[in-house]
Amino acid sequence: MPELPELQIIAARLTSHLAGFSIKKTVVHNHIVVHGLPVDDFESKSIGETFETVVADGKFLIFNLTNYDVVLNLMLTGRLRAIPRYKRPTSYDMVSFQIEDLTLWYSDAKKMGRIYLVNKGDYSQVADFEGRGPSALDPELTLEIFKKRLKRHNGQMKNVLRNQRFVKGIGNAYADEILLYAGILPFRKRSTLPDDEVEKLYHAMSKVLSRIRDIISKRSLDEIAIEKRDFLMVHNRGGGICPLCGGRVSEVTANRFKTNYCQTCQK
């Protein structure tokens, strides 16, 4: 699942590819991902619109057009590719936008994502968009604001980090990475964290996500699309060696989501 660092790089790359170009043809290859409008309206209203910018907003990508916004939540298996030719759609291809000599493809193996065409700046119909917290990489998210927001949320720390109402943009994989760096077990209750651990968590969040973004910035859209996450320290490393202490990485699976942690580094 793409998280904030990937989405920020994807948004920047797509802006460079798409800005200033108009949509010549929109095709919905599978209606199940289109929400808020009938498919015919989605296709017809987007044709002739010009791409301005693409913005990462938490786990959403927003394509700013002339009169509308395309809002995309890639969910678990959604992927984007910009291909300099038109190809035959596969069963995974959901929507394509053709511009000049380039076609933007949204594919989704599990068909879990959601795509909307909304009036510019009006996200009221987009599920789970409103009521979210600030971006986890927002420079205006100070330690004091972080502490105040954290106090509003109870439960296990991994669930708190993944809660988009706390901060937006962190998913399953990077929550594990942040908690390793902060030295906090994912199952710890928020109420057990003293101020010094909250401060460690705040700095770990910024450092880990910024480091990952820097790594991803050197990769192509295709590499990002296949989620080549060879830089992960603990997530998906169950049974492996913790790079921080040399201890064994543990793994727990619940509700189809893996949680990985180091019992030596994390308390």
Total-model pTM: 0.94
pLDDT at 223: 87
pLDDT at 120: 97
Distances (CA, A) of 18 to 14, 82, 88, 106, 213: 6, 9, 21, 14, 21
Q: Domains in the chain, please, with CATH? A: 4-119 (3.20.190.10), 143-262 (1.10.8.50)
pLDDT at 222: 85
CA distance 156 to 190: 6
pLDDT at 51: 98
pLDDT at 40: 98
pLDDT at 256: 84
Residue appearing with tokens 């890639």: 74
Give average pLDDT by consecutive 10-residue segment, the chain, 267 residues. 95 96 98 98 98 98 98 95 89 96 95 98 97 98 98 97 98 98 98 98 98 95 87 96 96 93 97
- Tell how strand 114-119 and strand 34-35 pair up: parallel
